[in-house]
Structure 1
Amino acid sequence: MWMPSQLPQLDRQLREAGYAGDPATLADLTAAPLNAVVRAGGGTGAFVSADGLVLTNHHVAFGVIQYNSTPARNLIDAGYVAADRAGELPANPDFRVLVTIGFDQVTDQVLGSARGKRGRAYFDAVDAASKQVVAECEREAGVRCSVANMYNGTDFYRIRQLELRDLRLVYAPPRSIGNFGDETDNFMWPRHTGDFTLLRAYVGPDGKPAAFAPDNVPYQPPSHLQVASEGPHEGSFAMLAGYPGTTYRHRTAAEFAEQVQWTLPARVEVFDALIAAIEAAGRQDAQARTLYASQLQSLKNNRKRAAGELDGLRRSDAVGQRAADERDMLRATARGDRRELEALDQVLAQASAMRERDLLLGLVVSQSQLLRSALVLERLRIEAGKPDPARETGYQARDLALIEGTLKQVQRRYDPAVEQALLGELLGRYQRLPDAQRLAEFDAAFGRTPAELAAALQSLYAGTALGDEAARMAAFAAARQGAALPADPLLQLAARLVPAQLRLEDERKARDGELLRLRPVYMAVLAGWRAHQGRPLYPDANGTLRVSYGRLEALQPRDAVTYSPLTSVAGILEKHTGQVPFDAPQPLLDAIARGDFAGTADASLGTQPVNFLTNLDTTGGNSGSPVLDAHGRLIGLNFDSNWEAVSASWWFDPRYKRAIHVDMRYMRWLMDQVYPAPHLLREMGLDG
């Protein structure tokens, strides 16, 4: 996962791999083709027209599709094609597209006042300097800035991004195409999924980013990708650009061991329980099924990812290999560095002592809607009384529009019975923790027995008015001014719980300060060891733009098993049962039967391609990343990894790591022959 600035150093390797362009041009992420690649929601996307069409995954845009769906007008199942611009539907208010317009090193500015400090003081110095960098950067209207930590606290970069807030749904295939195979096929190969959606970015009449308004106009991107007229074959060069979320490949041997021995098994178990709770409610209530469709899909994906990661790390013996690598590294480590590395291990052990509590309480917030809203509002009320630079990240003036958008869309994602079921499961597990991991505030609020918990939740949700948007907006208006919040049971609960959250946050920041100070020592030792072996080092993924290159390559996951890297519509017919999740829609079946694949067929297959496999390096956040050919043309859209490679967020094993992509020939054929959108094909420069 190379930083663009590293690519000129790989000139020879890129050219030998088959890249036909000049690698030096890839160093500038504000120039074509990389400036066409954007952050889209929780994943990646790319501009594919001069009028702001954004191509991303169906699952990345799933919240947008759900936001516009009701039981009576279910766009999740039916799909959607906007006949014209007037028919394009507004996205949920918190969906964003971020266009990177600047990337600059600010290490000295961020670390200048931190040097010589420890613990919380080190954290606060880095935090204050980062906020200052962001505040100065965001004086420019419509720009969203951040500071990215590279090489685990060694280097820092300022990222400037244009924040596009008005996104609209243009084209989405039905679920039975966009999510064909669902969890059965998730992380599996072969795949036959049309996981793509088209959105359009809009700006104000003055050309600047703006919230949704009827008179907004399509955004004119600095460049856009051209869909290739022909597709790839086995061995073809492929290059992917995107915004991978987080990888942990440079973590310590102790962290690797904990991930395999505790963290991943614990996640699988709790995700299973949450999935069961939502599915049980959905079987009896169609409305709840629609409201929680996106959250359920996310939980299933995370559950399967955790299980696959565990399986892959064990298969690669990542724990043993990292331990062996670390022993080799430490043999050449100076005594002073060794003391710092021992201190690093001690800080990590402190965090491990409270790991189960932290997992559960984190999920209490992330998996609830109303309780999370109440906690956010109470925290905003507290932060609003501070000068803006001193506020916690996420509660500054720059964050108010996003908080407001999140609060507004609760209505589309909340059911009181489902939320109580989820909280009952999580807090019930919390009640069984040993006393050393318990918090007095949570015990007082929810009791220490299942009966007390059930009674507390029933009382809270029967009495709260936060399920009403007007009530949330009234509380938001008060919170942003630092005024007293309305007398609501959930808000009163939040006032009792937030002090406990703040106490935990203080402890975490002290640990994080030490980790920020100590991890660069580990990274320096690792970099020196890798350099001695002649192996270059890229930073772990952190949400910044990265590039991977390679080729279409077959997979041999087990003895005597080989998978070719291309699938076709023939596989759809083989899998089709007429029952979810293998219920291919009739228009698709009819089009396959007609066999009209002119201009999009693969001669080697003799039929219509669907998905393809590469050896590119991807992880979460790379969903929706464009895949380019040797000339920089769009040939695919990343949407998944194979089961054997889910562990790549921690350990890259080239024997098994593959990425799965939608073939652009399939997208083009669907938009031409199955769910026609000739006006969009023309806009993308393709024949209708």
Structure 2
Amino acid sequence: MKRIFLLLTFMLSFVQLRADEGMWLMTMIKRLNGVDLKKQGLKLTPEEIYSVNNSSLKDAIVQFGGGCTAEMVSKEGLLFTNHHCGYGQIAALSTPEKDHLTNGFWAMKKSEELPAKGLSVRFLVRMDDVTKRINDKLNNNMSADQRKEIIDAEYKAIQTENSENGKYSVVVRDFFNGNEFYYFVYQDFKDVRLVGTPPNALGKFGGDTDNWEWPRHTADFSVFRVYADANGNPAEYSPNNVPMKPKHALPISLKGYKPGDFAMIVGFPGRTNRYLTSFGIEQMVNKDYPAWVEASKLAMDVMKKYMDADQATKLN
């Protein structure tokens, strides 16, 4: 009886930590039951999360370097991202004599910020559902090649219609295994500069093994600033560029949090396999992943040999 009581106590201790499942595009937030989200503690309205006509959360959450998420935290273009997201740029800006990756770096004024060559930050302007438009041109009698040809043609048409002669980047994607289609309109800023980073020993502590684990004892962050031309438009690097003014920046609170506070994650995940079948999972776990791990280890062992021998090679 004592064992049953202890087991029940152990299980109940996790009840308040339960997280509801779900991954949604920002436009889908209106599909959710706002009342239920409010009961759970969400204090934002759907319009404050995603709006085309007004500033909203979407304007502060940006795609960093084509594969990471960052957040705008000031009206002067300042952004925070993970250290491992800025890792490549920090390394590229380092030399054996000025090794910012190993020693860290902090710009005390804007003129000391370091231009990160080739780095861009992507802002979401809007997104929309084009499922009906594309599905209306498809039928079950088409071959796979015919279907692909029609979908590709619609993708190109949608991109042309919404790019405003190259002002915006337009991406069209299928979701839910090809059952829904959405397009995304982005604005890309290409003058991005390193503002600060902790030493690698802090920022990379625990490595990718600890990524997304909790608690994680690390300083996995880096700080950059986005610049624009005098009119606030994207521009290549120039000493005459000025800090970009985002439509919205996340306010910083020093109040902290308490148990039971609402939490959600907003960002740009690379992919999700949440709808994978059991057969697909078996294939990945028993076949794909072991082969990938073995091949990666062979490559990394070769790279490490030369990186350990020369710091300049390691940084490059």
Same fold per TM (> 0.5)?
Answer: yes
Residue 286 of structure 1 and its aligned partner are, at CA, apart by 2.1
Alignment correspondent of 1:181: 206
Name the aligned partner's letter for residue 130 of structure 1: Y
* Contact persistence 1:14–1:23 (CA under 8 A): no
Change beyond 3 A, Cα 1:20–1:102: closer
Residue 39 of structure 1 and its aligned partner are, at CA, apart by 0.8
Q: Distance in 1 between matches of 2:143 and 2:209?
A: 48
Q: Distance in 1 between matches of 2:301 and 2:271?
A: 28
Paired residue total: 290
Residue 23 of structure 1 and its aligned partner are, at CA, apart by 4.1
Matches within 5 A, 1:220-369: 220-291=245-316
Alignment correspondent of 1:172: 197
Q: Distance in 2 between matches of 1:69 and 1:264?
A: 33
* Contact persistence 1:111–1:125 (CA under 8 A): no
* Contact persistence 2:123–2:187 (CA under 8 A): yes
In the alignment, structure 1 residue 105 sits paired with structure 2 residue 129: yes
Alignment correspondent of 1:127: 152
**Of 106, 117, 127, the match for 2:142:** 117
Residue 24 of structure 1 and its aligned partner are, at CA, apart by 4.9
Describe the SS at the equivalent of 1:51.
coil
Alignment correspondent of 2:36: 13
Name the aligned partner's letter for residue 88 of structure 1: E
**Of 47, 51, 55, the match for 1:28:** 51
**Paired-residue identity, %:** 31
Name the aligned partner's letter for residue 203 of structure 1: A
Q: Distance in 1 between matches of 2:210 and 2:185?
A: 37
Alignment correspondent of 2:244: 219
In the alignment, structure 1 residue 55 sits paired with structure 2 residue 80: yes
Name the aligned partner's letter for residue 48 of structure 1: V
Q: Distance in 2 between matches of 1:234 and 1:77?
A: 36
Structure of larger gyration radius: 1
Q: Distance in 1 between matches of 2:58 and 2:136?
A: 32
* Contact persistence 1:7–1:24 (CA under 8 A): no
Residue 189 of structure 1 and its aligned partner are, at CA, apart by 4.2
Tell me the alpha carbon deviations over residues 212-264 of structure 1, each in whole angstroms, 9 at most, x when there is no partner: 11211111110100111221233322222111111122233332221122011
Residue 279 of structure 1 and its aligned partner are, at CA, apart by 0.9
Matches within 5 A, 1:128-207: 128-182=153-207, 185-186=210-211, 188-207=213-232
Name the aligned partner's letter for residue 45 of structure 1: A
Alignment correspondent of 2:25: 3
Q: Distance in 1 between matches of 2:244 and 2:207?
A: 33
* Contact persistence 1:142–1:163 (CA under 8 A): no
Change beyond 3 A, Cα 1:55–1:4: same
Change beyond 3 A, Cα 1:248–1:186: closer
Change beyond 3 A, Cα 1:37–1:114: same
TM-score by length of 1: 0.40
Describe the SS at the equivalent of 1:127.
helix
Matches within 5 A, 1:365-514: none
Q: Which has the higher helix share?
A: 1
Tell me the alpha carbon deviations over residues 338-381 of structure 1, each in whole angstroms, 9 at most, x when there is no partner: xxxxxxxxxxxxxxxxxxxxxxxxxxxxxxxxxxxxxxxxxxxx
Alignment correspondent of 2:15: none
TM-score by length of 2: 0.85
Residue 187 of structure 1 and its aligned partner are, at CA, apart by 5.5
Residue 37 of structure 1 and its aligned partner are, at CA, apart by 0.8
Q: Distance in 2 between matches of 1:99 and 1:188?
A: 28
* Contact persistence 1:54–1:200 (CA under 8 A): yes
Tell me the alpha carbon deviations over residues 67-105 of structure 1, each in whole angstroms, 9 at most, x when there is no partner: 211111111011111121111111121x22111111111
Tell me the alpha carbon deviations over residues 197-220 of structure 1, each in whole angstroms, 9 at most, x when there is no partner: 111111122321111112111111
Which structure 1 residue ranges, 5 or more long, are not aligned?
292-688
Residue 140 of structure 1 and its aligned partner are, at CA, apart by 4.2
Q: Distance in 1 between matches of 2:232 and 2:45?
A: 32
* Contact persistence 1:6–1:27 (CA under 8 A): no
Residue 16 of structure 1 and its aligned partner are, at CA, apart by 1.9
Q: Distance in 2 between matches of 1:155 and 1:126?
A: 12
Name the aligned partner's letter for residue 43 of structure 2: A
Matches within 5 A, 1:522-541: none
Residue 2 of structure 1 and its aligned partner are, at CA, apart by 1.9
Q: Distance in 1 between matches of 2:281 and 2:210?
A: 28
Change beyond 3 A, Cα 1:246–1:254: same
Q: CA RMSD in A?
A: 2.0
* Contact persistence 2:193–2:225 (CA under 8 A): yes
Q: Distance in 1 between matches of 2:270 and 2:241?
A: 31
Which structure 2 residue ranges, 5 or more long, are not aligned?
1-22
Alignment correspondent of 2:64: 40
Name the aligned partner's letter for residue 84 of structure 2: H
Q: Distance in 1 between matches of 2:27 and 2:211?
A: 33
Name the aligned partner's letter for residue 18 of structure 1: G
* Contact persistence 1:100–1:159 (CA under 8 A): yes
Change beyond 3 A, Cα 1:33–1:186: closer
Describe the SS at the equivalent of 1:149.
strand
Alignment correspondent of 2:107: 82
Residue 156 of structure 1 and its aligned partner are, at CA, apart by 1.0
